[in-house]
Structure 1
Amino acid sequence: MTKIILCGCNGVMGRVIDGVVAEDPGAEIVAGVDLFDGVENSYPVFKDISEFSGEADAIIDFSKPEALPSILDYSVKTGIPAIIASTGYSEDELESMREASKKAPILFSGNMSLGVNVLIDLLRKAVNSLPGFDIEIIEKHHNKKVDSPSGTARMLADAANEELNGQMSFVHGRVGNDTKRTPNEIGVHAVRGGSIVGEHTVIFAGVDEIVEIKHTAMSKKIFAVGSVRAAHYMTGKPAGLYSMSDLFSAE
């Protein structure tokens, strides 16, 4: 039985994860963490993770970047693996994850779905198979998403840049009379509207031909399922910085 502490338990994703865990006989939420208490939970809910002193095997975090310091501190002190699934982190916050991973098992991903991680693999292959093609990334999300570009779009852009030896710069949208595309840039564009769960398209534009690869999320459940799978996978892992690709390669 994988015992889970769920941070952001009363948010939209928290409620979806609650339902996924209820269908998984090998998982149990033993505690929740959330500032909002207007939800009836089947487990105790705390304002801060440090208030929980029971036994747990993994932490799933779908809260906000503001909660990151306390979660990392708790993981380091207890050795309980942390699955960080929120987005919108600054470079300093990402560095704090890397530092914490030297003492505790930390899995961070801007997207928890299997399909997106396959998309990243396809992107890497396309970058190397289509030299000289211009790369543009378009991401679409619902009108309540607060961070832009999405964590997944950042993952895609970073993966493409890694394959190109880190020589590319990222351009977030274009406006003005002097926006001619340069050879060493990757365009990253965000669309916000309605109830779009998540859609990511990578465009490879060459001379007289275009290749597109795309992932569309039809519901938030795919992210919840991925995070619970990550909790099972991370149980008992040694200190280190993990990704969803580690999980998928192990299955």
Structure 2
Amino acid sequence: MALVGISPFASLQKIQLLSFIFLYLLYLDLSNCVECKSLHSYIENAKLYPMGGMVMLRNEDYQHIFHEIKNMITIINSSLQLIEKQHPEVSGFAYWNDTISDVHALRNIIIELSTARLGSDLNKTPTDITEFMEQIMNSTKVCFEDTDILCTFHAQDNLKPVPIDQMRLREAIVNLLKNSYEAVGTSGTINIYAYETSDSLCLDIKDSGCGMDPQTLAQLYTPFFTSKDKGNGLGLVITKSIVEAHGGSLTCQSMPQKGTTFTISLPFELPTSP
């Protein structure tokens, strides 16, 4: 049972290869596809700006490119469906189902990357974190009903409201809960603690799972790095980007067979001067 609905992904190597081939074709414009030519032209004319020593596209440029790529993936998927409808025998061909899965996986990656790029566009409102977390606990408790996993939430009394984008932070927390759920396996504990420091609201998500070795821990936020059979290596990257877009930080402590603790720190905004 999964904590949230995530479509199965193809192997990391296949996804990376498919992504590389797909983008390579876009840049070389090797097809007569109107969308390919449109995207190729847009990328060539997109304005770039320096950031941290790197040349980056603007957010709106990224979103346009992601939109065009999703359109092309939709066309590819529709073409595959049409082929299968007119020639049902292809479903028995070697790698046909893998090809369908790879196209779906690529589309999911583009959607997740697009979501990550929107991390800075937040709609923050002062939020009672205790009520917010209790809502998340209520909506996810069904996932633990047929397991021997005990998931609990503990909050310090009288926590100050913290300004957050509730939808985006919920996504980040559910990602961390999903990781803990998978790490714990069939039985164990997941404990969530909310507390204040002098300038921040903190959330600890602590599990009794398998933990991570130093090598895995060092690559935790590397895009496309994953130790899971059906992972895409983007969940924690997106989670970290959401937390940092709030001006906060995401840290992790873990040891093999000793469990893992993720800590989200969110700053209390200083009141504006009259």
Which TM-score tier does this pair reach, normalised by the shorter chain? under 0.3
Q: Who wins on radius of gyration, i.e. which is larger?
A: 2
Bigger proportion of residues as strand: 1
Q: Larger RCO: Structure 1 or Structure 2 (Cα < 8 Å, ≥ 6 residues apart)?
A: 1
Bigger proportion of residues as helix: 2
